[in-house]
Amino acid sequence: MPGWDEWYREATRKFAHHGYAALSPNLYHRAGHGSPEDVAAKVRAAGGVADEQALGDLAGALQYLRALPASNGKVGVFGTCSGGRHAFLAACRVPGFSAVVDCWGGRVVMAPGELTPKQPVAPIDYTQDLSCPLLGIFGEEDQNPTPAHVAQLEEELKHHGKTYEFHMYAKAGHGFFYHDRPNYRQEQAVDGWRKLFAFLETHLK
Amino acid sequence: MCTMIVTQVGIAGCGKGTNGWFELREANVSYDHPFNAPFEHAVNIDFVNEALGPSARVAVELSVEGARTLVAAINAVLERAESGGYLEQPVPAVR
């Protein structure tokens, strides 16, 4: 369950350890103060944050990082689960990103009945606007996104001639990087992180 | 927060959170990723009082089977109470 939680803060430090200026914007900060779980639960009950609000916050984070004195002008965006969806959406809707990593982002492909006032457009429908290379990391046992959802997104990327790299891991389901959860898969996670940093090395340095 | 399958109902009662008892006003029921239960998805029930902020929350995360069993148990208890003539509405205590 993404939120401004310990795993995300650890992951942010991991990016810093690999030499990047890393920022983990708290997309739920408007929901009030409390433990990350309590705040995320409140956001969950409210149907998530509005896509436009998340995009505004991510645009602000992009501007902040690019304004840092040591910046080379290149900024990537990374997310898992609903954060993977946000990352893909940002790479389509917010100009200026140089790379995007979508880890098992659910609801990039959405049925018409899943659209809400807060999420009015399925992210896949913005694929033609994707403005940077995309790395996608998925597990073939995932229920959301399913391999069929991933295949549908890949078709759309091909259709629009986008640069992408997808890795579908066997014997892995949703969230297999989360070392504190039963779905953690050590071998696949280690390989996924290796591919992720190789991708960033190519597009951000 | 992947499925967005969630519904909120108004409730009356009390819950015991980390800071003691508080008045409950809402229950948020979702089928989504749990924070702690060892399942990819769970039936998450948050008993809350939104007016008191995000920390006014009593959380449970149940397996699908556990949730169905709980629903059946609640209904069974209510039926027994009703048939025994116990099912009056509680009168709020005067403080």
The reply to whether residue A44 touches residue B32, judged by beta carbons under 8 angstroms, is yes
pLDDT of A53-82, one tens digit each?
999 999 999 999 999 999 999 999 999 999
Closest residue in B to A47 (Cα) is: B4
Subunit contact B1:A38, Cβ cutoff 8 A:
no
For residue B45, give how far its alpha carbon lies from the nearest alpha carbon of chain A (Å): 10
Is residue A76, in this structure, part of any structural domain at all?
Answer: yes
Token look-up 């149907």 returns A47
Q: What local confidence, expressed as pLDDT, does residue B12 receive?
A: 96
pLDDT for B85 beyond 60: yes
Indicate whether A156 belongs to any domain. yes
In chain A, the percentage of residues whose pLDDT exceeds 70 is 99
Residue A94, in any domain of the structure: yes
Q: Does the beta-carbon distance from B34 to A114 stay under 8 Å?
A: no
Token reading at A176: 């297999």
Looking at the predicted structure, is the pLDDT value of residue A130 above 60?
A: yes
Using a CB-CB cut-off of 8 Å, the residues of chain B touching A6 are: none
B50 touches chain A (CB under 8 A): yes
Q: What CATH code is carried by the domain that includes residue A64?
A: 3.40.50.1820
- Residue written as token pair 């807060």: A118
Asked whether the predicted pLDDT for residue A1 surpasses 60, the reply is: no
Structural domain contains residue A80: yes
Q: Does residue B2 register a pLDDT over 90?
A: no
Q: In what order do the strands lie in the sheet with A134-139?
A: A76-80, A99-103, A134-139, A164-169
- Residue A119 in contact with residue A97, Cβ under 8 Å? no
Residue A134: which pLDDT band, with cuts at 50, 70 and 90?
Answer: very high
Number of domains in chain A: 1
Encoded tokens for A45: 């009950």
Domain contains A149: yes
- A43 located within any domain: no
Q: Which domain holds residue A200?
A: 57-204
Contact A144 B3 (CB under 8 A): yes
Contacts with A, B 6-25, CB within 8 Å: 6, 8
The residue-averaged pLDDT of A142-171 equals: 97
A4 falls within a domain: no
Q: In this structure, is residue A13 part of a structural domain?
A: no
Which residue type is seen at A103?
C
How deeply is A191 buried, as exposed, middle or buried, from its count of CB atoms within 10 A (0-12, 13-18, 19+)? middle
Residue A122 has pLDDT above 60, yes or no: yes
- The confidence band for B94, taking pLDDT boundaries of 50, 70 and 90, is low
pLDDT classification of B42: cutoffs 50, 70, 90: very high
Residue in the block written with tokens 């959405």? A110
> Which of A:73-112 have CB within 8 Å of B?
81-82, 106-107
- The two beta strands, B42-48 and B20-32, are antiparallel
- The pLDDT, as a whole number, for residue B92 is 65
Nearest to B35 among A1, A32, A48 (CB): A1
Chain B positions touching A41 (Cβ under 8 A) are 28, 35, 44, 46, 48, 54, 57, 59
DSSP A59-126: HHHHHHHHHSTT--S--EEEEETHHHHHHHHHHHHSTT-SEEEEES-TTSS--GGG--SSS-S-GGGG
